[in-house]
A and B are shown apart, each in its own frame.
Chain A
Amino acid sequence: NAGVTQTPKFRVLKTGQSMTLLCAQDMNHEYMYWYRQDPGMGLRLIHYSVGEGTTAKGEVPDGYNVSRLKKQNFLLGLESAAPSQTSVYFCASSFERYNEQFFGPGTRLTVL
């Protein structure tokens, strides 16, 4: 099993450009999450999904959109990237709400 995978690993964008980060899991988990990790701030939840076709806002959703069209995939979109979105993005999944979350390797995004 690959677990949780993220594509791409690195990306550099210019302000105003758009992109989509892909998260895939092969563990048949219902719950999926997108976090951003910034120095001194820990991990903050951007959006999450409790099942195929559902999405919900987390702590810092502004500037991001998500979709969960298939159970195994959770996409994070930036419509118009800003330098404040420079961060490391982590995807995670879990079987149920209080279960252990399994994390992907992260995507390092730089917005110039």
Chain B
Amino acid sequence: AQRVTQPEKLLSVFKGAPVELKCNYSYSGSPELFWYVQYSRQRLQLLLRHISRESIKGFTADLNKGETSFHLKKPFAQEEDSAMYYCALWGAQKLVFGQGTRLTINP
């Protein structure tokens, strides 16, 4: 069975500090992993996907198959990064989401 775990429901950091949102997965096949973000009063939208290996809004995420992790990182957090973040895994015909992490950036 495929499963995505985001161990932190809430994460709070100060502006300018590094931020890391954790994501661990379990899946027997080759995973397709994504990070989706939901800003206040906006729709859920794709932030980045591991296959494209790009940096979006300063965020990066590296797939670590050995540790089955896909943590989201940003070296210097900005106030506009405050949002709900979901890690998601494509496998077995569907996208499975983690529980989400609410990130708050304090001024």
Which A residues lie at the B interface, using CB under 8 A? Answer: 33, 35, 40-45, 48, 56, 58-59, 90, 92, 97-98, 100-106
Contacts and interface: CB of A to CB of B under 8 A. Distances in A.
Given A42-B97, A43-B97, A48-B94, A100 B43 contact: no
A98 B99 contact: no
Interface residues of B, number: 20
B46 A40 contact: no
Interface of B: 4, 6, 9, 32, 34, 43-46, 49, 86, 90, 93-100
Contacts of A45: 94-96
A92 to B, nearest CB: 8
Given A42-B86, A42-B99, A58-B94, 19 more contacts: A40-B9, A40-B99, A41-B99, A42-B97, A42-B98, A43-B44, A45-B94, A45-B95, A48-B94, A59-B96, A92-B44, A97-B90, A98-B90, A100-B34, A100-B46, A100-B49, A101-B95, A103-B44, A106-B43
**B interface majority secondary structure:** strand
A104 B43 contact: yes
A26 B34 CA distance: 24
